[in-house]
Amino acid sequence: MPTYSLFATTPKAMEDILVTELQTLGIAQPKATMAGVAFEGDLEAAYRVCLWSRIANRVLLVLSSFTVKTQQDLYDGVQKTDWFEHINPEDTLAVSFSAKNSEAINNTHFGALKVKDAVVDQMRSRFSIRPSVDTEQPTIRINVYLQGETAQLSLDLSGESLHRRGYRDTTIKAPIKENLAAALLLRCGWPNIAAQHGSLLDPMCGSGTLLLEGAMIAADYAPGLLRDYFGFTRWKQHDAACWRRLRSEAERRKTIGLAKLPVIVGFDQDRHTVNIALNHIANAGLAQKIHVERRDISDAAPAESWQRGLVICNPPYGERLEDEEAVAELYKKLGDTLKARFLGWQVGMIISDPELGFRLGIRSQKPITLFNGALECKLLRMTVTESAFFIPKARNPQERVTQVLDTSHPASAEDTGADMFANRLKKNLKKLSKWAKNNAVTCYRVYDADLPEYSAAVDIYQGQQTWVNVQEYEPPKTIDRQKADQRLAGLLAELPKVLDIPPSNVFLKIRRKQRSTEQYEKFADSGQFHPISEGGCTLLVNFADYLDTGLFLDHRPIRLRIQQQAKNKRFLNLFAYTGTATVHAAVGGASATTTVDMSHTYINWAKQNLALNNTLGTHEFIQADCLEWLANEAAQALPRQYDLIFLDPPTFSNSKRMDDVFDIQNDHVTLIRNAATLLAAGGVLYFSTNFRRFKMDYEALAGFTVDDITADTIPEDFARNPKIHYCWRLLKPCVE
């Protein structure tokens, strides 16, 4: 039996689960990629994955790969396959086409038509008859994925997505897909719990998907057994004998498995939903194996005879219900029920808002990111024990700063376990101090939440003295505040010892989600500024008065790049903050600089920074709303022209001094285009953002050369957290 190149697709963030599953199915050396796993195997291996995979969406058999630079290349590449080896001329076909970063074809419908035409034309030229299109259950389904200039042509052996098991015939609002449900159960350790006869309970079972997937896992019930159609069943090269053998084996395993199925129960408060779940259970042939009844969450409880096991559920996310308070109350009720009646049980649930998980009042393990459709969610896993219970208490973050800094009862490393932090700090310092010295870096990050128990960033600033700026990431509400305070106090006690500095040179801030430009609001009024050196520039920092010090350390490489490229250039610094990039450009020999920021305080700070450095050229400082100023300048008949622009806007802003709300994801194209209007031909614009979910709209910026230079702008001291920012270089074409 020949060996084929195969590819199993799966939802994002489930690739590693699929790799493990394929290994259990006897697949050697599966290789995970984005949204799928590549592997080698014969037809039996491919059929086995189609029959047994609980995680995959599709199984593709790769026929060929070829280069596509034009539309004709796609047509010609598809025609190189002899389609009579796969279908007869009177058969049917369907085509799935997708493209990424392709200049030749970016319309998926057009691409699919081109592929269909290539197959149909080949068959018609040979037999004077052509296959017809059937999008429901075709003889074969052809899949083409075009990435850049490389097309991969495959047969879709699954036919329709494998998550459709065959038991669902009615949908309810926002159901969870079957392969995601299986992933939740596998992540929560259900196979081991079931093997030890542990029970499975879903207190909000909806249409019963989690119950059914749990039963099929526990019973060794192949998820494809209920399906009567796969993409290979009418294919000319289909091995029917092999498929019958695999199905017979699966039927035997199912019969054996169902005989030892543990207790599986579901509750739901909605009568109609319970009826749907019962119908699905009957469709799966499990009517006598899974019990479902109407019961409110507050009444959910295990029978005395049930062995402790797993509580699993997909509760409302908040997006589904208009009344957020009602959703929060539901989670509180669920937490109360778990604490009162499910001691010793494991719990798993998928949520989209961590705040809702906090409402349970039970500490969880580190959340696992998964996707329910396009919605990013977190899988919470917890053990219901009294030691994991907590009562959340709200507290002002600045009150915590005062309390933690209270040295009347200093915490020791022995009290807090802070020796772990001290050891990690020493280890980091040994490595980074050598790097800093070799690269003439005086201010750098030496610790960034390396240990989950000590969730803070520690930055060293070396000038006339050595100072330390500590930013504690606001603890999740699932963490006991008193314990978090003790750990933070231990961290602060160790820093002066390890770094050999006075405690008064350690400054603490609470890093939390901010409203608008809250990061720029004053915390104090010490007026204490300290000069530091960076790349031959002198810059002022302030540790006491603001959340940020006036110097974003992660932007060090882009500032140095600007300095190296600024000689005899006209430089524009937008959303300039304290003007540090302006200073680098001026020291680098810029012929002129313009610095724009909305804050009077930071414009003055920028002026002071520049005054500390001996520079030539013309320097202009403008206090204005950058968005408004930029739009006005771009609308001029003869707009200002710059050779080098640095654009580092906030992620979000609804400042009182701005008429509109600004959102970087929605507004970045307009912002960049306006800035590019001020860019001279051949000029360079650097665009940076720290929005972690940001997606650059390359298509809307066609006409510019747009290069992602993020990796080159992440400094060594931020390598542990490479998503601290993203950065692009945009080049404006020269006029011919």
In this prediction, residues 306-333 reach a mean pLDDT of 77
State the angle between helix axes of 397-404 and 481-499 in degrees (0 to 180), rounded to the nearest 10. Answer: 50
Q: How confident is the model at residue 440 (pLDDT cuts 50, 70, 90)?
A: very high
In this prediction, residues 416-443 reach a mean pLDDT of 91
CB-side neighbour CA atoms (13 Å) of 314: 24
CATH topology agreement for domains 178-219+260-388 and 397-513: no
- Report whether pLDDT(523) > 80: no
Bridge partners of 239, per DSSP, are: none
Q: What is the pLDDT of residue 49?
A: 98
DSSP SS3 for 7: strand
Please, are residues 443 and 528 in contact by the beta-carbon 8 Å criterion? Answer: no
Q: Measure the CA–CA gap between 395 and 562, rounded to whole angstroms.
A: 42
Q: How deeply is 226 buried, as exposed, middle or buried, from its count of CB atoms within 10 A (0-12, 13-18, 19+)?
A: middle
- Report whether pLDDT(697) > 50: yes
Residue 333 DSSP label: H
> For 48-71, what is each residue's pLDDT tens digit?
999 999 999 999 999 999 999 999
Q: How confident is the model at residue 408 (pLDDT cuts 50, 70, 90)?
A: very low
Q: What is the pLDDT of residue 352?
A: 81
The domain made up of 397-513 has a fold known as: Transcription Regulator spoIIAA (3.30.750)
Instruction: Give the range among 66-75, 287-296, 504-513, 663-672 with minimum mean pLDDT.
Output: 504-513
Q: How confident is the model at residue 334 (pLDDT cuts 50, 70, 90)?
A: very high
Q: Measure the CA–CA gap between 439 and 244, rounded to whole angstroms.
A: 67
Average pLDDT of the chain is 89
Classify the C-alpha dihedral 391-394-399-405 as positive or negative.
Answer: positive
- Report whether pLDDT(292) > 60: yes
- Report whether pLDDT(404) > 90: no
- Report whether pLDDT(696) > 60: yes
The domain made up of 178-219+260-388 has a fold known as: Rossmann fold (3.40.50)
Q: What is the pLDDT of residue 245?
A: 97
In this prediction, residues 614-635 reach a mean pLDDT of 94
> For 9-29, what is each residue's pLDDT tens digit?
999 999 999 999 999 999 999
Q: What is the pLDDT of residue 720?
A: 86
Q: What is the pLDDT of residue 732?
A: 81
Instruction: Give the range among 201-215, 258-272, 468-482 with minimum mean pLDDT.
Output: 468-482
Q: What is the pLDDT of residue 513?
A: 45
> For 77-95, what is each residue's pLDDT tens digit?
999 999 999 999 999 999 9
Please, are residues 203 and 108 in contact by the beta-carbon 8 Å criterion? Answer: no
The domain made up of 537-731 has a fold known as: Rossmann fold (3.40.50)
Residue, of 418 and 182, whose pLDDT is higher: 182
Q: Where are the domains of the chain?
A: 4-156, 178-219+260-388, 397-513, 537-731
Q: How confident is the model at residue 374 (pLDDT cuts 50, 70, 90)?
A: confident
DSSP SS3 for 198: coil
Q: How confident is the model at residue 661 (pLDDT cuts 50, 70, 90)?
A: low
The CA-CA-CA angle for residues 419, 421, 426, to 5°, reads 95
- Report whether pLDDT(443) > 60: yes
Residues in the chain: 736
Q: What is the pLDDT of residue 415?
A: 46
Bridge partners of 18, per DSSP, are: none
Q: How confident is the model at residue 704 (pLDDT cuts 50, 70, 90)?
A: confident
Q: Measure the CA–CA gap between 463 and 467, rounded to whole angstroms.
A: 8
% of the chain beyond a pLDDT of 90: 74
Instruction: Give the range among 311-325, 439-453, 537-551, 715-729 with minimum mean pLDDT.
Output: 311-325
% of the chain beyond a pLDDT of 70: 90
Residue, of 43 and 405, whose pLDDT is higher: 43
CA 729 → CA 158, 257, 284, 670, distances in Å? 42, 58, 55, 16
Q: Measure the CA–CA gap between 313 and 335, rounded to whole angstroms.
A: 12
Q: What is the pLDDT of residue 327?
A: 79
* Cβ count near 728 (within 10 Å): 22
- Report whether pLDDT(101) > 60: yes
Instruction: Give the range among 492-496, 643-647, 698-702 with minimum mean pLDDT.
Output: 698-702
Q: What is the pLDDT of residue 394?
A: 42
Instruction: Give the range among 98-102, 425-429, 497-501, 662-666 with minimum mean pLDDT.
Output: 662-666
Residue, of 415 and 183, whose pLDDT is higher: 183
Q: Which of 208, 125, 123 is nearest to 165 (CA)?
A: 208
In this prediction, residues 166-193 reach a mean pLDDT of 87
Quote the tokens at residue 526: 């010490």
Q: What is the pLDDT of residue 10?
A: 96
Q: What is the pLDDT of residue 325?
A: 63
In this prediction, residues 506-517 reach a mean pLDDT of 61
- Report whether pLDDT(314) > 60: yes
Q: What is the pLDDT of residue 409?
A: 44
Quote the tokens at residue 350: 């998928």
Amino acid 276 reads I
Q: Which CATH architecture has domain 4-156?
A: 2-Layer Sandwich (3.30)
Amino acid 473 reads Y
Residue, of 374 and 209, whose pLDDT is higher: 209
Q: What are phi and psi of 713, to 5 degrees?
A: -110, 5
Q: How confident is the model at residue 1 (pLDDT cuts 50, 70, 90)?
A: confident
Q: What is the pLDDT of residue 665?
A: 87
Quote the tokens at residue 465: 């003295």
Instruction: Give the range among 219-223, 388-392, 642-646, 718-722 with minimum mean pLDDT.
Output: 388-392
Q: What is the pLDDT of residue 552?
A: 96
CA 646 → CA 206, 325, 510, 557, 614, distances in Å? 52, 43, 28, 13, 22
Residues with Cβ within 8 Å of 13's Cβ and at least 6 positions away in sequence, in order, are 369, 370, 371
Give the DSSP H or E segment for 292.
strand 291-294
